[in-house]
Amino acid sequence: MADAHATPHHDYHLVNPSPWPLASSFAVTVMMIGAVVWMKGLVPAETAGTVMGALFAKGDKALFFAGLAGVLISAACWWADVVKESRAGDHTPVVQLGLRYGMILFIASEVMFFVGFFWMFFEMTLFNEARAHIPEVGAWADTAKAWSTWPPKGIETLDAWQLPLLNTLILLLSGTTVTWAHHALAQGDRKATKIGLAITVALGLLFTAVQAYEYHHIIHENLFFNEEAINSGLYGSIFFMATGFHGFHVLIGTLFLIVCLLRLLAGQFTPQKHFGFEAAAWYWHFVDVVWLFLFAFVYVVFG
């Protein structure tokens, strides 16, 4: 029988069987179902006293957070395996190239994810008056009147030059610090790398805190709802979907950078081999660019 650990005669890494792809897929499915349960529910409210009601009634968060915990655990274990493979020397130049292509394609898929949100937003903002004159809409006077303006009548939008501008400056500064950290690592300056990366993580957490305060202000002041505008909920839905999913990506990027900081403190990464850090920096620049588009169009131009 051939030695399973014999030196390979090719440039590829044949990974060992792993449970994490299946586990993460299952966890994401549970989390998404949990999100639907939390917001809309899957069973009537009358079943609240039953087992089904306890799990699937509107407002129940248990399923969502169980799925989220599964996602985090699966991701952590999967990434740990990848790190072990790298430290074992399994990531040959060909494998590293494949990892780079994979990260590029992943970011490209995320770009298209946000393209869908911007498409929806621009469709609402640019063609609202034309929609009001569609025969099916115009037949209802209240509906046509509601569609005649955007944002809908009675909606109080946010001042782009206050909290949104602050968050823009925070992310731009974080993009600078992560680039500084990356260049410092490439030059072998680990101290500067640690400082730059720690500042970037702190700025990411600050961005999340400011956005949470902004959401609290919107909800507390009831800014995005007007009983006289039948389509007022559309503005809030689009706003929270676009900025909320971006905020979720900022959290993911922050966790990514925290992992890199912990690995750096553990003595990992070298000037020649640090793709994990490089991928985190790419992802962070991606969330920076998406936010610039959100700030420009959601807050400034059409806000």
* Cβ–Cβ < 8 Å for 74, 23: yes
How far is it, in rounded angstroms, from Cα 28 to Cα 63?
A: 11
Domain end position, chosen among 49, 67, 90: 90
Residue 136: pLDDT band (50, 70, 90) is: low
In degrees, rounded to 5, the angle at the alpha carbon of residue 71 between the alpha carbons of residues 269 and 291 is 70
Domain end position, chosen among 69, 90, 111: 90
pLDDT digits (tens, 9 = 90+) for 94-122: 888 888 999 999 999 999 999 998 888 88
Is it the case that residue 52 has pLDDT exceeding 60?
Answer: yes
Domain match, 222 and 133 both: yes
Is it the case that residue 2 has pLDDT exceeding 50?
Answer: no
User: Helices in 127-189 by DSSP H: which ranges?
Assistant: 128-132, 135-138, 141-147, 163-186
How many domains is the chain built from? 2
Q: What is the DSSP letter of 184?
A: H
Question: Which residue range is the domain that position 39 belongs to?
Answer: 1-90
Is it the case that residue 169 has pLDDT exceeding 50?
Answer: yes
Short-list 132, 98, 88, 111, CA closest to 12: 98
Domain match, 187 and 260 both: yes
Domain match, 255 and 177 both: yes
* Cβ–Cβ < 8 Å for 203, 171: yes
Domain match, 187 and 286 both: yes
Domain match, 158 and 208 both: yes
Q: How far is CA 210 from the centre of its chain?
A: 16
- CATH code of the domain covering residue 81: 1.10.287.70
Predicted TM-score (pTM) of this structure: 0.83
Cis ω before 135 (30° cut-off from 0): no
- CATH code of the domain covering residue 197: 1.20.120.80
